[in-house]
Structure 1
Amino acid sequence: MIRLLLAAGIALIVSLFGTKFLIFWLTKHRIGQPIHEDVPRGHTTKAGTPTMGGIAIVSGGLIGYLGSNLYRGTESNLGYTRTGLYVMLAIAGAGVVGLADDWIKVANERNLGLNSRAKMLGLLAVAVAVAWALASRTNVALTINFTRGTLPGWELPKLAWVAWAVVLITGSANAVNLTDGLDGLAAGSASFGFSAYVVVGFWTFRYPEIYQVTDALDVAVVAAAMLGACVGFLWWNAAPAQIFMGDTGSLAIGAGLACLALATNTQLLLPIVGALFVIETLSVILQVASFKATGRRVFRMAPIHHHFEMAGWPETTVIIRMWLLTGICTALGIGLFYADFLGTGATG
């Protein structure tokens, strides 16, 4: 428990002050976010807002995770593990891909960074490396599960599991990236997701005979570090945002959530906890498919948060309501996880 608190606390402080420094440095050097023309009219005033704030999120998460092991009490044998390190590697690797995309945008002063093929190849490289490492060098179960290793416990050959993991990591990274369109929306929603995996990881650690997840505590520490980092960043990113996370933050967050699900054998729980990210992605898929097939749009604008803006909702209203939706879905996911635990006959 001390490691969890240390990870979250250190990450929060690093992210909080690191983000403030980024705002100062980026503003001084006039490095700001170009705004795409195809956005609601109110977003044009945000042009020039400092971006790449995801650097503070990734740095805060990494330092919080590494700093958590400063405490060596009764948990002295529960330090860094390969699983935890590989999850952090995925977060950092996806963050680097996002950083390259953000830097090209600000350097060229237009909202076009890496082309879609280059960005996807970068994400695939990170996802394949981490998925293969998890499958080959840790004891992560090569199964697809909801809340534990036997539910449903669909076992896959190593290559099939790696392919499944790659789809989950890249899909989750892109889903968070699509959600990052309003001040604080992605950071606030991700905070709920990481808090869920703090609970899942710690509970799994407490009951190894039920969940059979190795390195569960270290995985929970990663989640706690990312939770603290997101909250620290949100202090400055809440509407009206003084800085944007950019692809640096959104890709790192999405990859991190996916890897936490893989490491805790709860891949099918992730779409419930991260339901907002799923909805945002589906809205884009439906919009594109409908327009190509019929020439008509389903929504006024996609992703769906822009649809509500175009319908007249103030930006803060959209953000808060989507946070509420995310909170409800997170509570539902944790409730289902605990209900399954009670079904095993164990007592908390």
Structure 2
Amino acid sequence: MLYYLFRFLDQFGIPGSHMWAYISFRALLALILSLIISAWFGEKFIKFLKSKQITETQRDASIDPFGVKKIGVPSMGGIIIIVAILVPVILLGRMRNIYLILMIITTLWLGLLGGLDDYIKIFRKNKEGLQGKFKIVGQIGLGLIVGMVLYLSPDAVVRENLTIQKQGQEMVVKHRSKPVKSLKTTIPFVKGHNLDYSKLMGFCGKYKTAAGWILFVIMTIIVVTAVSNGANLNDGMDGMCAGNSAIIGVALGIFAYVSSHIEYAAYLNIMYIPGSQELVVFICAFVGALIGFLWYNAYPAQIFMGDTGSLTIGGIIAVCAIIIHKELMLPILCGIFFIESLSVIMQVYYYKLGKKHGVKQRIFKRTPIHDNFRTQQSQLDPECKYLVKKPKGAIHESKITIRFWIMTIILAALTIITLKMR
């Protein structure tokens, strides 16, 4: 809203109003505003939740190796993150931008889905929360909406094959194509960087483009579901998910910025995506909200984000990557989420395999994998066979969290480096 107000005032030469045309100004303002909102609103919200006793049953001192009590800590802290994202975005963003609209829909959709899950856990006293099939349906529904909007919207276009030529003392960007609907996506470590979904469906003959869009929509559904569930699994320690997601958000913000900047896109030989600069405003609000939330969520946590936060965070990361055609780089960028999910899948499969043969067996001491490092040998089931019993002693969760942050920083740096590795 403020963007349109100051753009209007700029017509009358009001000093400073022209600054609202700069994406860097609005993005940094969104970062600061979201951080302030999450810190200020977070304190008020925590007091409110405690007064209403809106808490989720968590582990207590009897099972925590370091005797940390977490009963009575408020949950549903994801509401803080959502509010801190949406307020700056609505104030500072160009609300007619199709990509910004998609990000707001994603935030509200998965926030509602996660909130329903937390509501069942807290108010209905059902530890299982919302049934898994309903979560999957909600995630598939969002993926379908995002995929179809990117297919149907005339504003969701790219410019490919940009070159920079020197004319005298000036560098001029030359377009070798008009804005087009593109089925190409960026892949790492490959010359040319791009993979075309329609070429993968070449066996469909003259229908390969239509089949390519179907494949794209299916891929969108898979990415949204996988990343949101991965973030949900990663949310098991104080500050873990928020910290990792903030780091991932910084990397996505860099990708969004270079994709929206015609000269940088040409220099890096990546797709130029007109309008994607508004994603930078959204991602800055996203990162600011997570950093502000960490003020209360860092060890020892004063509040948990719950599924309201974790599902929303994962969905935001997934949809942003899809919009800027970087979804196939998520296995590297979100490597921690991928490992967490893989550890659970492996553990369940191995346990069921042993059950068929009457053997009680597990791969890790506990999953998701971060819980494996927090579990002591004395907590293991003596009747169960474990493939991995290391580390023998429990590692403090604050150290585990920081080490996971470091790994995410390395993965984010590697992902950014792939822009120049071909």
Q: Which residue of 2 aligns with 1:175?
A: 230
1:299 aligned partner, one-letter code: F
Aligned-residue offset at 1:80: 4.5
Match of 1:5 among 24, 28, 42: 28
Correspondence for 2:341 among 281, 298, 319: 281
Instruction: State TM-score, norm by structure 1.
Output: 0.89
Work out which of the residue numbers 189, 193, 196 in structure 2 matches 1:151.
193
CA deviation after TM superposition for structure 1 residue 59, in Å? 1.4
Structure 1 match to 2:165: none
| Alignment-derived partner of residue 267 in structure 1 | 327
Name the counterpart of 1:74: none
CA distance in 2, matches of 1:183, 1:89: 28
Structure 1 SS opposite 2:69 = helix
* Structure 1: gaps of 5 or more residues: 70-77, 344-348
1:1-348 maps to which residues of 2 (within 5 A)? 1-35=24-58, 41-42=64-65, 45-69=69-93, 80-137=96-153, 138-139=155-156, 141-146=182-187, 151-156=193-198, 157-207=212-262, 208-209=265-266, 210=269, 211-294=271-354, 295-310=360-375, 311=391, 312-337=394-419, 339-340=420-421
Asked whether the 8 Å contact 1:299–1:307 carries over to 2, the reply is yes
Letter in 2 for 1:298: I
Confirm or deny: 8 A CA contact 1:79 1:218 kept in the other structure.
Answer: no
Contact 1:144-1:268 within 8 A present in 2 as well: yes
Q: Does the Cα contact within 8 Å between 2:261 and 2:272 map onto a contact in 1?
A: no
SS of structure 1 residue aligned to 2:418: helix
8 Å contact from structure 2 (residues 197, 213) kept in 1: no
* Counterpart Cα distance in 2 of 1:167 and 1:206: 29
Q: By percentage of residues, which structure has more helix?
A: 1
Task: Give 3-state SS (helix, strand or coil) of 1:204's partner.
Answer: helix
After superposition, give the CA deviation of every residue in 1:216-260 in whole Å (9 maximum; x if it has no partner). Answer: 211222211111111111111000000000001100010000111
CA-to-aligned-CA distance 1:3-27 (integer Å, 9 cap, x gap): 2101211111111112112101000
**Residues 110 and 41 (structure 1), Cα distance of their counterparts in 2 relative to 1, 3 Å cut:** farther
Superposed displacement of residue 48, structure 1: 1.9
Asked if structure 1 preserves the Cα contact closer than 8 Å seen for 2:59 and 2:69, the reply is no
Q: Deviations over 1:51-74 (max 9, x none)?
A: 1110111111111212224xxxxx
One-letter amino acid of the counterpart of residue 243, structure 1: I
The structure-2 alpha-carbon separation of the partners of 1:40 and 1:117, relative to structure 1 and needing over 3 Å to count, comes to farther
Task: Tell whether the 8 Å contact from 1:35 to 1:44 is kept in structure 2 after alignment.
Answer: no
AA paired with 2:185? I
**Is the 8 Å Cα contact of residues 74 and 304 (structure 2) preserved in structure 1?**
yes
**Which digits, 9 at most, give the CA deviation of each residue in 1:113-152, with x for residues without a partner?**
1111122222222222222212221425333322699523
Segments of 5+ residues of structure 2 without an aligned counterpart are 1-23, 158-181, 199-211, 355-359, 376-390
Q: TM-score, structure 2 length as denominator?
A: 0.74
Identical columns (%): 30
* Contact 2:59/2:71 (8 A) holds in 1: no
> CA distance change for structure 1 residues 250 and 51 in 2, over 3 Å: closer, same or farther?
same
Relative contact order, higher structure (CA 8 A, sep 6+): 1
Distance in 1 between residues matched to 2:96 and 2:29, nearest whole Å? 14
